[in-house]
Amino acid sequence: VDENDRASTYSPPPEKETEMSTEPRTAPGGDGRGVRVHAQQARAAVPALGRADSTAIDHALQTMANRIERQQRALAAANDADVRAATEAGMQPALLDRLRLDEARLAAMSAQLRSLAEVPRLDAVVDRQEVGGGLWVEERRRPVGVIGANFEARPNVVVDVASQLLKSRNTGVLRTGSAAIGSATALLDHVIAPALVAADLPPDAIQLVRTPGHEAARDLVRHPDVLPLVILRGSGASTRELAELAARHGVRTLAHADGGAVIYVDASADLATALRLVEESVDRFGVCNRLNLLLVAAQRWDEWLPEILATLERLDIAASLPPHDHPLGYEWALDEARERTVTIAPNESAREAALTVNGTTSGLAACIVAEDPPAIDDFLDVCDATGTFVNATPRLLDGFKLFKVPETGINVDRVPGPRGPVTFRDLHLRQFVVRA
């Protein structure tokens, strides 16, 4: 869960009007190239990237880090122009902040690139066993090929996603929110493409859609033959719409349109632990894995509710108590005016709480606070959440926090494959190689 991804779901950014228009692909500021052309150019780079050894890939990542430092002036100029235009268009301060590439953010980007370059490559061969008759079968990881990625107007995500694609030997077509196109273009032209060339890799491996407008995002999820997989960062209505459009076209996405973490306080819980976890889970309100629904063991409801309410009051958080005038899983993070709200409800048992998680939420993240091992086992038996937490905050549902590598996104599909926090380590195809 990237902390910032949700921001743009609170209120439409200024680009929204542009996004809804039916402007031609050759809009001012664009280069007129459609997604299909980009995907074909990226595809031409697939074999070279697949062949690249780790030295070349990691050299490209390190060169990107160096160039971010050396090209600071050019990047700042492009970003200043984006920020100026967005300010004039009336962009909200929170979104403007995400658009800005200040020194600290550039330094963080460089540091993350250097750190990713240090991560060892996954073995191409996952498993090897004898078939019999002198034959061996290997399970292998292969790059997917070309992967699409859509994200909001945050220039640093250009480098974040590009680096993860390169680390997994995939090429990509990136599309950013329109307000960041100038900054994204500068990052492509001054950082990413030259770093690829310096590492003797094809600069076409990372493509940026330079045409503003939301229609480009829609175009990203309509070409299953050349872009079978698209990462949709962020959540909310825009992601939901793109995920549905992708599904209709047979394009797979890694995404979560909905979030909202659940904490269940079991009758066996240590109340102090429960109150600490509640507080740790509302350190931010706009993020998908914040506490949204607090379930309390019914037999402790009268005893514990006052202390829970006192804690929420101290944190300036409203409690929505039964009877609720909204669905139990209603996601407050998406309700700008009331995001500082937590729904509270009684549940009879750990099992009932897990069924509540499965039945009324997106299944992103859920936590049980309990000291009683059978209650914990019951919860784990039933709970389907992509991340399930035992006496730990669901705010930990994040690829970087759990695995120390950047996160591609979080996927909530209920099908086999990458689910929960997705990292570059997941961006591969399974292949079996049989050798005589």
Residue reference for tokens 């500021």: 29
Residue 420 touching a copy of itself (CB under 8 A) = yes
At residue 214, the 3 state secondary structure works out as coil
Compute CA distances 74 → 80, 146, 355, 406, whole Å: 10, 29, 53, 26
Burial label, 332 (beta-carbon count in 10 A; 0-12, 13-18, 19+): buried
- Residue 419: CB minimum distance to a copy of itself, A: 4
Number of residues in contact with a copy of itself under rule CB under 8 A: 56
Rounded Cα distance, 90 and 16, in Å: 12
**Which of 4, 320, 386, 423 forms a contact with a copy of itself (CB under 8 A)?**
386
- The region of 152-160, 180-188, 304-312, 388-396 touching a copy of itself under the rule CB under 8 A is 388-396
Segments of 305-390 assigned E as strands: 318-320, 341-347, 365-369, 387-390
Task: Say whether residue 228 binds a copy of itself (CB under 8 A).
Answer: yes
- Nearer of residues 30 and 145 to a copy of itself, judged by Cβ: 145
Binds a copy of itself by CB under 8 A, chosen from 17, 69, 244, 348: 244
**Window 143-182: contact mask with a copy of itself (x via CB under 8 A):** -xx-------------------------------------
Closest CB 59 distance from a copy of itself, rounded Å = 20
Sign of torsion, CA 301 349 380 285? negative
Does 327 help bind a copy of itself (rule: CB under 8 A)?
no
Binder of a copy of itself out of 151, 264, 304, 389 (CB under 8 A): 389
Listed ranges 84-92, 234-242, 287-295, 376-384: which one lies at the site for a copy of itself (CB under 8 A): 376-384
Q: Specify the 3-state DSSP secondary structure of 244.
A: helix
* Contacts with 196 (C-beta within 8 Å, 6 or more apart), sequence order: 60, 166, 202, 203, 205, 206
- Binding residue (CB under 8 A) for a copy of itself from 252, 256, 290, 300: 252
Q: Which residue has the tokens 């600071």?
A: 72
Q: Does 435 bind a copy of itself (CB under 8 A)?
A: yes
- Give the residue with the Cβ less far from a copy of itself, 156 or 253: 253
CA distances to 94, 237, 258, 331 from 240, rounded to whole Å, are 22, 5, 8, 14
Residue among 388, 405, 406, 424 that touches a copy of itself (CB under 8 A): 388
Whats the size of the chain, residue-wise?
436
Q: If binding is defined by CB under 8 A, does position 216 make contact with a copy of itself?
A: no
Which residue lies nearer to a copy of itself by CB, 106 or 354?
Answer: 354
Binders in 3-62 for a copy of itself, by CB under 8 A: 47, 50-51
Using the minimum distance from each CB to a copy of itself, give the nearer residue, 102 or 377.
Answer: 377
First to last CA, the chain: 45
Nearest of 368, 397, 371, 396 to residue 382 by alpha carbon: 368
Q: Collapsing DSSP states into helix, strand and coil, what is residue 265?
A: strand
x/- letters, 107..146, toward a copy of itself (CB under 8 A)? ------------------------x---x-x----x-xx-
Distances from the Cα of 301 to the Cα of 64, 306, 323, angstroms: 55, 9, 14
Contact indicator for 350, 373 with CB cutoff of 8 Å = no
Q: How far is the CB of 268 from a copy of itself (least distance, A)?
A: 15
Q: How far apart are CA 202 and CA 190, in angstroms?
A: 15
**Only segment of 88-96, 149-157, 340-348, 424-432 that touches a copy of itself (CB under 8 A):** 424-432
Rounded CA-CA distance 100/120 in Å is 32
Is position 405 an interface residue for a copy of itself (rule: CB under 8 A)? Answer: no
Near a copy of itself by CB under 8 A: residue from 70, 84, 128, 249: 249
Q: Does 381 bind a copy of itself (CB under 8 A)?
A: yes
Per CB under 8 A, residues contacting a copy of itself are: 47, 50-51, 131, 135, 137, 142, 144-145, 228-229, 244, 247-250, 252, 351, 355, 380-382, 384-392, 396-397, 401-403, 413-421, 426-436
